[in-house]
Every structure is written in structure tokens, then in C-alpha cells.
Amino acid sequence: MTRHHRRERTAGVAVLAVLGLLLVVLPGPATAAGQARADRLQRDADALRDAGVTGVAVRLRTPDGVRTATSGTGDLTTGRPVPRAGYLRIGSTTKSFVATVVLQLVGEGRLRLDDTVEKWLPGMVRGNGNDGRAVTLRQLLGHTSGLPDYVADVAPRDSREFEAHRNRFHTPEQLVALAMRHRPEFRPGARHGYSNTNYLLAGLIVRAATGHTWQHEVRTRILRPLGLRHTGAPEGRPSFPRPHATEYQQFAPGGPYADTTAPYLPFDTGADGAMISTAADLDRFFTALNTGRLLAPAQQAAMRRTVAVPDGPGEIPGSRAGLGLFSVPLSCGGAYWGHGGSGLGYVVEPAATPDGRRTVTVSLHSRPAGQVTAVRQLKALHTLVDHALCGIPR
């Protein structure tokens, strides 16, 4: 899985291999430069639509104000527009919230980044060469543990499997047990290798250390203090509030697009990707995170201590992984921080400059089965984010 498809990297299989409607300009001076940026934003959103995405929504905040753009359609049956401020399933962007909670607990002395998984979850990571005594919390948060990803064991191969299994709930412990049937990808600490299993374990460690679920800790430590009223960390069986766009997954190249808006419970309920939010709330969260409102300096520095992300289809050369955050180079110099997320039928990409002065969130409401199409869409997504954060007007 590419950086924008963190939920399904190992689940690739055949499943997840990898009009223009309205532009709204909110408070900000009506300058020629601002209008040019707005035009650029709409053109970039339309480019994603032209690359085959059924529906696109963008929210950009700069010192001039907030601009939004939509393109495509929010529902292929009715033709209704993409909501400009709709709810989003944010998939692996959930990991940034969970990593923030863990690092807060580290700052309070209740956890240590060098704690082993075995210390907090005795006997859970073992078998087939997996060893919780050799894997640390730091390695879980930074995806350097080498632990196998459970997602391939539960991903549906076609729309019939999606419908048959979408309400089949698994506990985190059961999903970790599925992962333990496979050998590690590499020796702990050897390199970066994305695995959703890491964050199932991180969520369980939060519960072991606090006596509360990771959802409870996210709500009390992040959502309430920041006033993120449209962000949820649901427990059990999540619902999807309205308004939201319909999401479509293509399960085979050239095949039809299936409506996959309903949460797929085998992997839409855990600390690796269960949360629901809005673009405005994601803006507020990543701005707070980047500007030091959520973490003490030592933990902020630990989160931003990065390792190289291996090159792959759709990856930006020079991308690096921190603890629950990714650093991605910009064409204008420097890099942005964020964490993309995806699932069946959707991609979300929130990104912010290090100083928090510019943020953008892009949501795509369909995903193709073919890798060539998927990479083309990812390149268009990267281009939009780069133009938005660099302020490229044309």
C-alpha cells in the first residue's frame, strides 16, 4: 500500500491493489493572487475527477482564509453533489490520534517508548518467529517492528464477500492472532514496513496502561480539549453520520464499482483506522499537533524523529516516517506533516506545513482496482497537495 493507502498495503490482492461542481471562498481578501489560487485548487480537484475519482472534496486554509472545492458527484445514482463539509471516514489517519495519546502517556511517565510489547501484553506477540520481547512501543508507532499485517486475512476479494462479511466484528486480540499466523517481515528495528497490526497493539497498550480504551483516551485528551465536535472514536459498531459522500470500490480492473459506504467491521473498528471526522476538524487537530499544543517538546521531537520510507508505486521520493506522522517533501522546499488514510472506497489526505500556517485536506470517494489507475490518481493527489501548500497559483 502506498502512503495514502496505509490500511491495505499488504491486503493488495485483487481487491485494493492499488461536472466540476462548486468552489466556495470563505473569509479572506479577494485578491487576484487569492483568486488564482482558488482557480488552481478547482483545476486540481477536477484533475482528480478526470483521473477517474467519482467524487472529490478539498478544504484549504491559508493566511488568506479558507477555500473549498468539490468535483465529480457525491452519489452515482442520484447525482447529488459532494458535500462541502461532509463527514469522512479517515482510516489510518486515526493512527496520528493514537500516537499522540501514547506520547502524552510517555510524557507523564506512564509509558516508555522502549517498553516492550511483552511487558504490557504478555504472550500476545509470539509464534512463527514473532517475539513481543524484541518489539518496542517506539517500533510499533514508527512501523519498524517487522510484525506482519493482519489486513490481508480479512480483506474482501469482491463485492459479495464485502456484503457477506462487513458486519463480522473481530476484537483486536483476534486480529492480532490472525497476524501471528505469519512470519515477521523483517527483524525489529531493521527498517520501515507499514503494518496495521502495530496500532492494534498500541491501542491495547493504552488500555493496559490507563485502564481505559484508546477511544476514551482520544476523546478526553484530544477531542474535547480541542473542541472537535464532529470527530468520533466509536466503540463497537461505528455509524457514519450524514452528510457524507457515497463511497465506491472497484474490486477488479474494468469491473463495476460497488457501494462500500457502510463500514467494513473486520477492519473499521480498531486503533489502526476506526475514526470519523471532517476536514475542518482534521485541520484543527493537525495544526494543534504541529504547533506543540498537544505534546511537550521532548515528545514532539520524538514524534518527528523519522526513518526513510521505502520507494514504491505512488510514493513521493524522500518521504520519511515518524511516530504516527509522515514527512513528505514539497516542491517549494521543506516538507509537510500528515498521515493519509484509506479503506474500501475512500482516501483521505490531511497535510499541514510545520508552522501550521497552511493546511489542506483532500478526500477521494472511490478507489480503483488497477494499479496504473491508482498510481495516476495518487500522483494527481500529490500534485494538488503540493500546489496548495506551496501556494502555486497556476
Q: Active-site residues: which are they?
A: 92
Q: Regarding beta strands 366-367 and 248-250, do their DSSP bridges make them parallel or antiparallel, or are they unpaired?
A: parallel
* Cβ(343)–Cβ(7) below 8 Å: yes
Element (H, E) at 277: strand 276-278
Give the Cβ contact number of residue 78 at 10 Å. Answer: 9
Residues in contact with 6: Cβ distance below 8 Å, sequence separation at least 6, in sequence order? 91, 92, 95, 194, 196, 273, 339, 340, 341, 342
204-207, Cβ contacts within 8 angstroms, sequence gap of 24 or more: 204/120, 204/121, 204/124, 204/172, 204/173, 204/176, 204/271, 205/102, 205/111, 205/115, 205/117, 205/120, 205/121, 205/137, 205/140, 206/98, 206/101, 206/102, 206/105, 206/271
Q: Which residues of 370-385 are buried (b: 16+ CB within 10 A; e: fewer)?
A: beebbbbbbbbbbebb
The whole-angstrom separation of Cα 234 and Cα 117 is 25
CA dihedral (373, 376, 378, 384) positive or negative: negative
- Among 27, 88, 85, 44, residue whose Cα is nearest residue 388: 44
DSSP-based three-state secondary structure for 157? coil
Chain center to CA of 140: 16
Q: What's phi and psi for 334, nearest 5 deg?
A: 75, -160
Q: Which residues of 202-238 are buried (b: 16+ CB within 10 A; e: fewer)?
A: bbbbbbebbeebbbbbbbebbbeebebebbbbeeeeb
* Cβ(283)–Cβ(357) below 8 Å: no
Element (H, E) at 70: strand 65-72
